[in-house]
Structure 1
């Protein structure tokens, strides 16, 4: 028997704070036999935080000292470019509400993902390089995650060694590591332990001190909510409710017995109220913006349950690299960073010790919250589909990725590992129970090795059966990757499940090492400090190796380096056109974009959304999780058809592949299935399109097309004309007829077939389309061919000639005498002029682009959402974009407007065809961006009408005409407009949303309340002391 005086260092009573959660009645700690000097005591208290900081520095060393970052697509498409722009604004003394460079303008503050009001961003981003903030902030937040968890566990009574292990697991376990590229998610998630710490302190005190702690927890929640990612906040609120309920039920709680019932509601209620109230300045604008996105009405269940945890992928708990291919791809059923679970091998053993042996009232809570997170994350695979219940709650229906509930599982694993380590440290004498536990963990490692060998043997013994099982039970289940095949999974498992594989051997070895260290500690407790150090090193090393190897790494400068085409567009900013003699100036500060925006074709991976931001090039496109539904519909139509919607968006430059890469081939004619070259209607600028090419000797023309809304067309009636114009001016006209060359695109549908009035020619192919419900469907293409007299064609003109319905042409091929086909694409439109080529890309200057601001004479009112959307009216109904604007968001009191329905009946006064590319006549207003949130427009003298600004609409924009307020209308489906009286005017648009002002007032009131709670009792106490 070992004397108590020779107990291990890890069991020093000073290493564990007193806790109300110890088994049995709380007891005062016995004084140590050899008092620890205060300096040494303080050093030992600081040491765990230094270890956590060191681990964070080691993990992020490449980024901190070499500029290399862990990345995924969101890193270089969203957080790096938008964060750089935000940091530059802060360093310039501005807190921007509006981002002018994406989506034709976007309320980036309301979006919240950059965390513009997040306190650490406000404090540190002005001090860090605008292009170098990413890694320091990541390193800081993982340190904070570990530090907060350590402090929380110490408050619960864990010793320093146990709390350190818990902090390591929480900070460097799979959740924060796999999600590190989602900066906002990490910012919001690290604060949970601090919030629960404050609640725990509140439950241990009574009176006014309790309210102080609850308010402090609410302020921590407010900081997390300013992060801003909604899902960690939702999980934090669930954890808050579960923790408070558990603690109140299990006890002990300071105060009177009846207070328990009140605390069940009061404690989480006050924390939540202060937290959400303090962050209202961010949350209310976010709510307003979210309602305009596809998430606004809530997600359907199938979409909400994308990226769940799957039991088939839970082996990552012990073999984190099992599903990773040699090329870095993962064959998990869903995206790996959303559905991954790994907390280290030693923490699994330590957690088992806590469950079996640690007599702490708090241990069952960690078990319960871990099981809760697993049940939610597994969705329908769990015995009880808890996620479906949550999906019905307000707010939860707008969230996706239930696999992120791994957050609570990792949190639980951290707590259990901490108390398992703490139980081990409390063994002051040689412990046969501890030795048996270590031996069990060692046996578990042996069992794990046996399972690897046995399973691989079975895979090799019957490949046919296992391939079938994998096809049925793995690939046959709902999953994300279209390229995933059963044979691929089988072959990879056979290769990976091998004890000779270093990564498999590492997992087995780590668990075995944990068992050996537990046995050693139990048998030789005098060396407790050495065993504790070894176990901490084992945990840290395991998690850091995992964290360093999970994401790809690259220099940030390379990830966000502008492509040559992007640099070119930045250089031509401010020039109305680009002539052959244009000499680009050196890239400097972003110039005011007076010549319009750019739009990269959606089929260009090298210019994915937001990549134009690398050189501050404004774009009609963009990427954000809260893109408005209106913008998506407008952008997708403009991108698909390159017609009047592109022009109205003030898109001066279009970047496309040269030649197109996403083509299909039919009868030698190339076409883009998602991109018709013509989608025209009568009395609209889309009804006529001209294409200019180099002279091409033509003896045959092949057309691939279809009809929409043409069921009324009689068989044989002329629908559209194709005019061929030769180099010598000679013209040849081809007529496309219903029932012979074209037919209704959804002819087979019963409700169409019953009313259609023309025959159906043979279907040549199908192309994707979107039906009225938003679902993707396949529609018909029809092929026709026309022989023509030899003609050197240099211009092709397509016209829709019927007053109703639309003609859609996807492919048009000119055939020469040798059979060579010259296919026409949207890039051949006459309005486009190539101005730059590089690496298979071409920049087209759009000569038909409208100016950013212009004046029209007539407005059409869409008074109700029950009327047909303005979008088809712009492109497929009678509408003259050069002199009309469609207004929404009335009332329209005092305006002379044409009612939408009557305007459709009247049409455009017999003008069946409008010239394509007809912009309003000049002179045009001058636009100056005085700030990101302030646009000034000088309108020249004129007869008045309606000023249209081709910047994205938001109800937060206010307008003043010569200092007098004027209503701002939603114009042309996406943009802004105001009414103008005759004469010259100065118009100011200022972004000042009501949601921000209201949220600011609530946040200030909440902070005032928090200050009152903090100061008033102190003032009373001070006054009492003075009187005494």
Structure 2
């Protein structure tokens, strides 16, 4: 039932996943950002390795710690140790889920991850295994709830004996732990006080985290002992437990781990944005990585600009990404084909000055450069080269002398070798996410070529009659045009969405 309801999202998502680089990633890429075993200390002491941009000093680049609080961890453990028939199935399920999630989060540090990558369909497209720590948190939180529920009610005889035995041993175990770790911490602090200030600060940070953990552990054990010896009734125990958990978690999340810089500053360049929006034509911009510190790669989305890079995300379509990565030189016609009219780059950025000119320099950090050879979003060409397969198309567009302004490489259709016709009209009358409309008038047979990425599900209608959308110039779209005045409509209507909708409604 759940899969059926989710089919509307799952089928299109699966279709897209097969067209991205994620469908081809290696195991080394899939296992990047695995949770190092030493990071598991964060389940108990989240601040031991520092927090925030300036103070975090762990040797791994991830910061997932999975901390759910000290008392919830103890309650989760008690749910396993004290379970009885009424809760056994749930306890087993969530305990198993916690173990599985932990192993998955360890990624390349655990052999199971490699087996799943090799044998489970779709798992080879999942990166950053450390994020499975959130599934571990869910399982531990559920176990903690089961443990708390046990203690809110009278325990069965065997469970009560086990609980009291644990509580009798708890004070001695706590004193031993506090004495041992306290002695080590004091000695470390004493020996490190004459060292580099940064090292000393890290030692102090770790000790502060340890002290807070011991304080919370002591409070948790005191609360559990009071319940064990009948000093607290179920209702009072539950309220105090929730209060302690809330204090623990809210104190940890009382501040956000950000630096002192405004994270939104590189989204707001009002003068430059106003200049770009003053151009009424259809065009795309390129934001150079060298200027990302001043202009976010996602700023175009916020301001309604069309960017050759789209939004910054890991699911770029593989064909387009390959095309883009081949453009090492901005002087190539393949770059101009992308309708990249403006380049946003640093003040001292080097470009082929025979085609680029600076047109806006009023921003203190970036300039805007005009590409004088940028091709329009849609154009009609009267010469076509038909190739047998996808790799042949790749080779053809990289042949010396290939000019997308006059020729299109097609994986289908028919070759055109006739003399150039005249395009007397080409207007984009509607441009939305799911629909594009154009009016085109031409004096000869040709192909309407759009620098829009080819994707299954786009359907084209010429004067109301459906025509084939051809894969053009390796990663883009084209459709055949007879001479005359035409109304063209492209609409996104994928089969995966229609099938998914039918399954979700069934």
Q: In which range does the TM-score fall when normalised by the shorter chain?
A: 0.7 to 0.9
Count of residue pairs brought into register by the alignment: 494
Equivalent residue for 1:863? Answer: 388
CA offset at residue 884 of structure 1? 0.7
Matched, 1:368 2:91: no
Residues 70-110 of structure 1, C-alpha deviations (whole Å, 9 max, x = no match): xxxxxxxxxxxxxxxxxxxxxxxxxxxxxxxxxxxxxxxxx
Equivalent residue for 2:455? Answer: 954
Equivalent residue for 1:884? Answer: 407
**Conserved? CA contact 2:266–2:295, under 8 Å:** no
Matched, 1:614 2:341: no
Match of 1:289 among 16, 22, 27: 16
Matched, 1:300 2:6: no
Equivalent residue for 2:494? Answer: 993
Cα 1:621/1:866, change in 2 over 3 Å: closer
Match of 2:42 among 316, 333, 342: 316
**Conserved? CA contact 1:929–1:935, under 8 Å:** yes
Q: Indicate the SS of the match to 1:869.
A: helix
Matched, 1:381 2:118: no
Distance 2:240 2:326 in 1: 61
Matched, 1:896 2:415: yes
Q: Indicate the SS of the match to 1:951.
A: strand
Distance 1:868 1:946 in 2: 16
Matched, 1:420 2:147: yes
Distance 1:355 1:572 in 2: 65
Equivalent residue for 1:348? Answer: 73
Cα 1:855/1:366, change in 2 over 3 Å: closer
Equivalent residue for 1:645? Answer: 334
Alignment of 1:428-443 (within 5 A): 434=163, 437-438=166-167, 440-443=169-172
Distance 2:492 2:237 in 1: 61
CA offset at residue 630 of structure 1? 1.7
**Conserved? CA contact 2:462–2:487, under 8 Å:** yes
Equivalent residue for 1:945? Answer: 446
Using structure 1 for the length normalisation, give the TM-score.
Answer: 0.45
Distance 1:528 1:275 in 2: 37
Cα 1:973/1:349, change in 2 over 3 Å: same
CA offset at residue 933 of structure 1? 1.8
Q: Indicate the SS of the match to 1:867.
A: helix
Cα 1:403/1:493, change in 2 over 3 Å: same
Q: Indicate the SS of the match to 2:250.
A: helix
Equivalent residue for 2:218? Answer: 512
**Conserved? CA contact 2:151–2:234, under 8 Å:** no
Equivalent residue for 1:358? Answer: 83
Matched, 1:826 2:347: no
CA offset at residue 611 of structure 1? 1.3
Distance 1:829 1:368 in 2: 65
Cα 1:488/1:883, change in 2 over 3 Å: farther
**Conserved? CA contact 1:325–1:492, under 8 Å:** no
Q: Indicate the SS of the match to 1:421.
A: helix
Equivalent residue for 2:370? Answer: 845
Alignment of 1:655-670 (within 5 A): 655-660=344-349
Equivalent residue for 2:252? Answer: 546
Alignment of 1:1003-1018 (within 5 A): 1003-1005=504-506
Q: Indicate the SS of the match to 2:490.
A: strand
Q: Which moved more, 1:321-330 or 1:618-627?
A: 321-330
**Conserved? CA contact 2:441–2:483, under 8 Å:** no
Distance 1:852 1:397 in 2: 36
CA offset at residue 517 of structure 1? 1.0
Matched, 1:572 2:278: yes
Alignment of 1:230-629 (within 5 A): 274-297=1-24, 299-325=25-51, 327-328=53-54, 330-337=56-63, 339-360=64-85, 361-362=88-89, 363-382=91-110, 385-391=111-117, 392-427=119-154, 434=163, 437-438=166-167, 440-456=169-185, 493-498=202-207, 501=208, 503-525=209-231, 527-549=233-255, 551-552=257-258, 558=264, 561-564=267-270, 566-574=272-280, 594-605=281-292, 606-622=294-310, 623-629=312-318
Equivalent residue for 1:903? Answer: none
CA offset at residue 602 of structure 1? 2.2
CA offset at residue 490 of structure 1? 5.9
CA offset at residue 869 of structure 1? 1.3
**Conserved? CA contact 2:435–2:492, under 8 Å:** yes
Cα 1:305/1:637, change in 2 over 3 Å: same
Q: Indicate the SS of the match to 1:279.
A: helix
CA offset at residue 542 of structure 1? 1.3
Distance 2:121 2:407 in 1: 41
Distance 1:982 1:637 in 2: 35
Distance 1:881 1:364 in 2: 62
Distance 1:444 1:552 in 2: 38
Q: Indicate the SS of the match to 2:78.
A: helix
Cα 1:442/1:835, change in 2 over 3 Å: same
Distance 1:922 1:494 in 2: 73
Residues 758-788 of structure 1, C-alpha deviations (whole Å, 9 max, x = no match): xxxxxxxxxxxxxxxxxxxxxxxxxxxxxxx
Distance 1:550 1:955 in 2: 42
CA offset at residue 626 of structure 1? 1.4
Distance 1:966 1:934 in 2: 15
CA offset at residue 414 of structure 1? 2.1
Residues 408-449 of structure 1, C-alpha deviations (whole Å, 9 max, x = no match): 422332233233323333348997865553454444544443
Cα 1:492/1:377, change in 2 over 3 Å: farther
Equivalent residue for 2:437? Answer: 936
CA offset at residue 827 of structure 1? 5.3
CA offset at residue 514 of structure 1? 0.7
Match of 1:634 among 323, 337, 341: 323
**Conserved? CA contact 1:853–1:947, under 8 Å:** yes
Cα 1:489/1:295, change in 2 over 3 Å: farther
Alignment of 1:165-176 (within 5 A): none
**Conserved? CA contact 1:599–1:619, under 8 Å:** yes
CA offset at residue 557 of structure 1? 10
Q: Indicate the SS of the match to 1:496.
A: helix
Q: Indicate the SS of the match to 1:829.
A: coil
Cα 1:827/1:840, change in 2 over 3 Å: farther
Cα 1:344/1:447, change in 2 over 3 Å: farther
Give unpaired runs (5+ residues) of structure 2.
none
**Conserved? CA contact 2:66–2:134, under 8 Å:** no
Q: Larger relative contact order (C-alpha < 8 A, sep ≥ 6)?
A: 2
Distance 2:181 2:155 in 1: 37
Residues 293-327 of structure 1, C-alpha deviations (whole Å, 9 max, x = no match): 11124x31111111222211111111111122564
**Conserved? CA contact 2:355–2:371, under 8 Å:** no
Cα 1:930/1:377, change in 2 over 3 Å: closer
CA offset at residue 378 of structure 1? 2.0
Distance 1:278 1:980 in 2: 41
**Conserved? CA contact 1:569–1:617, under 8 Å:** no
Residues 163-202 of structure 1, C-alpha deviations (whole Å, 9 max, x = no match): xxxxxxxxxxxxxxxxxxxxxxxxxxxxxxxxxxxxxxxx
Indicate the structure (1 or 2) with the bigger Cα radius of gyration: 1
CA offset at residue 332 of structure 1? 3.7
**Conserved? CA contact 1:439–1:515, under 8 Å:** no
Q: Indicate the SS of the match to 1:292.
A: coil
